[in-house]
Structure 1
């Protein structure tokens, strides 16, 4: 089949509705957010139209730098841990019989049906002192008394990885399912150990997929809002939490809009990198 660019309005019609939704629900709100970000805040929690860049200058403060560095570091750690766990799991999943794969995929999809609220409260209960996992450790004689493991950085990391894990597996699954298993078997035949074949054949062969998936999970974790509040301490709050705090509780809408613009631009840039990595793999 020969492909050609659409020439008439009727041929463009399938993309008109998605384009309209994109304009209404993204372009217009994002444009308004950019406009508000350069407004001037006035006493009393209000703001007036202006063209000032004081809100963006606050990005250079030590407080914002600390929040930004923590948010980026947390998102990067969640992405690395999620992909590091999900990649070998998915590799094993695609080698199961078809019925076993379906059961695992249904189980992962059922996890996706859980809201962030349910996940947050479930993990906070699991890490609590009264009904948490430390009570089991006490019963096994591994601890003397139950302890609360939340709020803590470890609890926050565990909750975010749990939330991102199903998405990571479902993104990696198609690429691993298409990968030729005979390449790994050939490496084993030539004397490579299973671990060496995994890291010298499978991982390099899916390098672009791994990079794209890591970026996707990074963007997903960067926008996390509820789990940092439920499982972390105030010093563990991310940029998304700070945006809500400035907009609702501090009544500083211009600064909140400036931070939101920054977060959206970072996310779009990372999504662009993920798309470039995916195109490179398709070209290869």
Structure 2
């Protein structure tokens, strides 16, 4: 098939509605958010149109720098752990019979139907002292008495990895399902062990896919809002939580809008990098 650019309005029709939705639900709100971010705050929770950069200058403060660095480090750690677990799992999944693959994919899709609130409360219950997993450890004699494992950084990391894991599997699955089994068989014929064949053949061939999945999981974790509040302590709150705090509780809409603009720009830059990597892989 030869691709050519649309020449008439009728040929543009299939993309008009998505383009309209993009303008109405993203471009216009994002433009309004930029306008609010440069507005002047008035005591009492109001603001007036202006062109001030004081809200962006606050990014240089130690408090904002600490929240930003923690949010970036947490998102990076979640992405690495989720992909580190998801890649070998997806590779094994792609080698199963088709019926087993369908069952696993349906199970993963059912996890995606759970809201962040349900996931947060489920993990907080699982890690609680009264009804948590430590009661099982006490029952088998591994612990003297049950303990509460939440809120803590470990609980927050576990909940966010659990939430990001199905997305990483669904992104990795198409590439690993298309992997030619003859490559692994050839390496095994040449004397490589299954583990060595996995790291010397499978992983290098999927390098761009792994990087794109890492970026996707990073962007997903960067916007997490409820789980840091449900499973973490105040020092574990991310930039998304700080935005809500400034907008609702501190009544500082201009600063909240400035942080939101920054977060959106970082996410868009990472998505663009992921698309660039995908294009290079196709080429």
Question: What are the within-5 Å matches in structure 2 for residues 93-132 of structure 1?
Answer: 93-132=93-132
Q: Deviations over 1:187-239 (max 9, x none)?
A: 11111111111111111101000000000000000000000000000000000
Q: Does 1:33 align with 2:24?
A: no
Which residue of 2 is the match for residue 199 of structure 1?
Answer: 199
For residues 68 and 184 of structure 1, what CA distance do their matches in structure 2 show? 42
For residues 45 and 90 of structure 1, what CA distance do their matches in structure 2 show? 49
Which residue of 2 is the match for residue 223 of structure 1?
Answer: 223
Compute the displacement of 1:262 (Å).
0.1
Which residue of 2 is the match for residue 24 of structure 1?
Answer: 24
Aligned length in residues: 283
SS in 1 for 2:159: helix
Unaligned runs of 5+ in 2: none
Compute the displacement of 1:280 (Å).
1.0
For residues 235 and 3 of structure 1, what CA distance do their matches in structure 2 show? 53
TM-score (norm 2): 0.99
Which residue of 2 is the match for residue 270 of structure 1?
Answer: 270
SS in 2 for 1:12: helix
SS in 2 for 1:47: strand
Q: Does 1:10 align with 2:10?
A: yes
TM-score (norm 1): 0.99
For residues 190 and 103 of structure 2, what CA distance do their matches in structure 1 show? 35
Which residue of 1 is the match for residue 234 of structure 2?
Answer: 234
For residues 202 and 179 of structure 1, what CA distance do their matches in structure 2 show? 8
Unaligned runs of 5+ in 1: none
Q: Which runs of 4+ in 1 moved over 6 A?
A: none
Compute the displacement of 1:2 (Å).
1.9
Q: Does 1:69 align with 2:41?
A: no
For residues 2 and 44 of structure 2, what CA distance do their matches in structure 1 show? 63
